Each structure stands twice: as C-alpha cells, then as structure tokens.
Amino acid sequence: MTSREFARLSVSIVVPVLNEEATIQAALGRLCRDFPDCELVVVDGGSTDATVEIASLHATVVHSERGRAKQMNAGARHCTGEVLWFIHADTEIHHAALAQIRAVMCDPHVVGGGLTLRFDHRSPGLNYLARTSNLRARHLRHIFGDQAMFIRRKDFDELGGFPDLALMEDLEMSRRLNRRGPLAFLPATSTASARRLVEHGVWRMIVFMQYLKLLYFAGVDPERIRRRYAAGPPRLPRRSRKATSGQRVSSA
C-alpha cells in the first residue's frame, strides 16, 4: 500500500451507549476533534436519558437491542469504513491512535488489534491492572473492549461480527481474530474510566474479573457470568464492633 493509499484508508468509529448523558458530550466532542475524517456511529441500546439527543448532534445514531455485542454489530452494519474501530463512551483515545492504526493496517495480513490501556486515576492496583492487561494483549493477543479494539472490515464480516454473548464478546472476538492472522498492539493509549473499579475496590475487582474469566474458559453460560458481573464482587464481612474496638485506624 502506498503512502497515499495509507492516508485514504477509511476508518469507522462505533460507540455503543446506554444512558451516557453525563459523558457522551465530552466523549463525542473529543472524537470529532481528534479524528474528523472518521465516520462516527453511535449505537443506543435503549437509553432513557438524553443520550440520544446529545449524540445526534455529533454522530449518526442507530438503535439496537441492549447488549454490547448486539449494539456493536448493529453499528458495524451502518458503517462504510475499511476498518471498524470500537470505542467505549467512557474512554479517552490518544490523538496518535488513528495514524498508528492506518500504518499497521497497511499490512494486509493484520486483521486488527488494540491500544495500550491506562486508567484515568493512578494507584498501585490500577497500575498493576493496566500493566498486566497490556502484557496479556501483547503476548496472548487477548484484547478487551477498553483497549479500543479495531478490526479489518473484511475479517469482521467473514467472522459474522461479534459473537452474540452476554459478556466476554470482546475476548472471544480477539481469540477468533488471532486464529485468522496477526493482531497488532499499538503504543497509543486508551484511557479507561476507573470508576467501577474504585467503587468496588480495585484489588477485589481484579480478583473478581479473573474469576469471571476462569468461569468463561470453563464453559459457564455467558448469561450467568453477566448476571454475576452485574451483581459485583462479594462483599467482605463486616468486622464486629467488639472485634475492632480499641484498634487505631490510620489514614492513608
């Protein structure tokens, strides 16, 4: 592919959303600013807030059944790009990412890939999770949605899109893609929201997510895993007043 063909490689961005009125304005504004030549498609899964009204000011909005796999597949059907780029509404993509995607996709053997994960807050647990997630993507080619997965349209269509799973559709898609050809892991960052991790406790969530992945690899029904994920990690038992009386509590 020549440099001129590289510059013309068309990329479509798909953003699945559900009740994202608090973040969608800023998220789509950044995407329009940093990637103005990309087609931008927002897929709403039945929002009951102002998400659709806000998104329609910036992008083509399509409607779908609720569920990330269903929404991303619906968005892809409305896209015209040679590369499909799936971005979560609560992530911020580094402006260098598009050029890196176009450069790596010049190789016709590359079927897709993902970006380097980081979080919008820093802590030992979050740093550990980002580091291990990036090592996993680099060496195992297991790419998750918060790493802004991109896929060559031809391979996406031949695989039938994302598998219709209640959870782990991104993991399963990356495994299927990896059997077809090389997946690229790019240095440009995808900065994900750490809100849910912090809310439930970062280390508890790390253990919890590994548990869910083990359930998936063991063949447990993805719908059952989704319900378990939605319920959150088990709560730690509260220590009784008697057990904790007299102990000093230090502040971090």
For the chain, how far is it from start to end, CA to CA, in angstroms?
55
Owning domain of residue 33 = 3-193
Question: Average of pLDDT values for 246-251?
Answer: 34
DSSP track, 144-200? -GGG--EEEHHHHHHTTSS---SS-HHHHHHHHHHHHS-EEEEEEEEEE--HHHHHH
Residue 249, pLDDT score:
32
| 188 three-state secondary structure | strand
Residue 132 lies in a domain: yes
Supply 31's token pair: 């995407």
Confirm whether 16 is domain-assigned.
Answer: yes
Which pLDDT value is given to residue 166?
83
Structure confidence at residue 250 (pLDDT): 32
Is residue 25 in a domain?
Answer: yes
Who has greater pLDDT, 186 or 228?
186
- Residue 7: give its domain's CATH number: 3.90.550.10
**Three-state DSSP class for residue 173:** helix
pLDDT of 158 > 70? The answer is: yes
What pLDDT score does 245 carry?
38
pLDDT in tens, 103-129: 999 999 999 999 999 999 999 999 999
Section 134-147 average pLDDT: 94
Give yes or no for residue 237 having a pLDDT over 90. no
pLDDT in tens, 75-85: 999 999 999 99
| CB 44, CB 61: distance < 8 Å | yes
Does residue 136 lie in a domain region? yes
- pLDDT of res. 21: 95
Query: Is 104 domain-assigned?
Result: yes
Share the mean pLDDT of the chain. 90
Residue 106 lies in a domain: yes
Whether pLDDT at 37 is above 80: yes
| Among candidate residues 74, 62, 101, 94, the one with its CA nearest the CA of residue 164 | 74
Residue 252 pLDDT greater than 60, yes or no? no
Sorting pLDDT into bands at 50, 70 and 90, what band is 243?
very low
Helix, strand, coil percentages (3-state) for the chain, rounded to 5, are 45, 20, 35
Cα–Cα distance, 181 to 184 (Å, whole number): 10
pTM to 2 decimal places: 0.88
Q: Is residue 251 part of a domain?
A: no
d(CA 232, CA 144): 19
Query: What is the percent of the chain where pLDDT is above 90?
Result: 80
If we measure between CA atoms, which residue out of 132, 161, 158 comes closest to residue 147? 132
Residue 89 lies in a domain: yes
Confidence of residue 6 (pLDDT cuts 50, 70, 90): low
Q: How many domains does the chain have?
A: 1
